[in-house]
Amino acid sequence: MSFLAELERQLSDIEPLHRAAEHAVSMIQNKIHQGKFTPNSSLTAKVKKGSSPLSDTGDLKSSIHYRLTSESIIISSDHPGAAIHHFGGEIKAKKNGYLSLHQVIRARFLEDTAGV
């Protein structure tokens, strides 16, 4: 078999894996967007401008990606909050026993609630 024929055969074997991986990524992204989650609290909904968890900037949803290895499809995210959303856990304050809102979210909240 010629080099080009062998290369074509190998690429045709990989295409279904790419389609399966793309489908899996799409399913995860749809779950983030349309999943049946407990709505955000009213305060969080005001800060995030919506009651749907996982949907604020779209960064988590757009961070889902895949790669193929010789033996598997690996689907992952490099988003800092992905692991806590997937596996669960507790977020604790590092200093002073208090968690603080990110400045942008805090400013948005102040604008909405106090007209600042």
Residue 46 located in a structural domain:
yes
Residue 97 located in a structural domain:
no
Q: Output the pLDDT for position 23.
A: 93
Q: How many domains does the chain have?
A: 1
Q: Assign 31 to helix, strand or coil.
A: helix
Residue 116 located in a structural domain:
no
Residue 103 located in a structural domain:
no
Question: 86-101 burial, b if ≥16 CB within 10 A, otherwise e?
Answer: eeeeeeeeeeeeeeee
Tokens 């988003």 locate to: 79
Stated pTM of the model: 0.65
Q: Output the pLDDT for position 116.
A: 47
Residue 106 located in a structural domain:
no
Residue 14 located in a structural domain:
yes
Q: Assign 64 to helix, strand or coil.
A: strand
User: What Å distances lie between residue 116 and 24, 43, 107, CA to CA?
Assistant: 43, 17, 8
Residue 70's domain comprises: 3-90
Residue 95 located in a structural domain:
no
Residue 50 located in a structural domain:
yes
The partner residues of 64 in beta bridges, in order of sequence, read 77
Which segments in the chain show pLDDT lower than 50? 116
User: What Å distances lie between residue 55 and 36, 69, 94, CA to CA?
Assistant: 12, 31, 25
